[in-house]
């Protein structure tokens, strides 16, 4: 339970966008320059305001990255500018559960592709 009114407001604001669960490989990069190093991550949920994923290492809060993912029914990966909000160890694995705020699109059409994915009914 939230400790204060401001905690309650922060939780409500964090969840103001529809969040979709998914299981998809993705990449985390320092930038989109040719030859930029990337680290594999596993996306577990996404919304217009943020994404949750598993990563093999601890990521510092406040660090900015580019998150690149091929959303379902898309042929071109979407790239988003993200800022790490938290990164916590998962007790039963060697991975960290990370949450990142989406702060913008790093590729043309990325936000449109995300809106399409979020508003399309889940396939059965």
Tokens of 101: 């705020």
Give the sign of the dihedral formed by CA 49, CA 12, CA 58, CA 41: negative
Q: Alpha carbon 41 to chain centroid distance?
A: 10
Instruction: Give the whole-angstrom CA distance, residue 44 versus residue 105.
Output: 19
Instruction: Give the whole-angstrom CA distance, residue 96 versus residue 94.
Output: 7
| pLDDT at 72 > cutoff 60 | yes
Domain boundaries, the chain: 19-119
| Domain 19-119 indexed as CATH 2.40.10.220 | yes
pLDDT at 8: 44
Mean pLDDT of 5-31: 72
Phi, psi of 121, deg, nearest 5: -60, 140
* pTM of the predicted structure, to 2 decimals: 0.82
pLDDT at 16: 61
pLDDT at 71: 92
């Amino acid at each position: 339970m939230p400790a204060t009114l401001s905690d309650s407001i922060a939780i409500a604001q964090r969840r103001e966008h529809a969040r979709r669960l998914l299981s998809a490989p993705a990449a985390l990069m320092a930038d989109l320059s040719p030859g930029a190093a990337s680290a594999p991550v596993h996306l577990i949920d996404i919304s217009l305001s943020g994404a949750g994923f598993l990563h093999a290492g601890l990521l510092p809060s406040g660090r900015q990255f580019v998150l690149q993912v091929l959303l379902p029914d898309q042929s071109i990966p979407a790239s988003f500018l993200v800022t790490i909000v938290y990164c916590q160890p998962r007790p039963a694995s060697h991975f960290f559960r990370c949450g990142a705020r989406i702060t913008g699109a790093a590729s043309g059409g990325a936000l449109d592709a995300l809106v399409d994915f979020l508003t399309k009914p889940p396939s059965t």
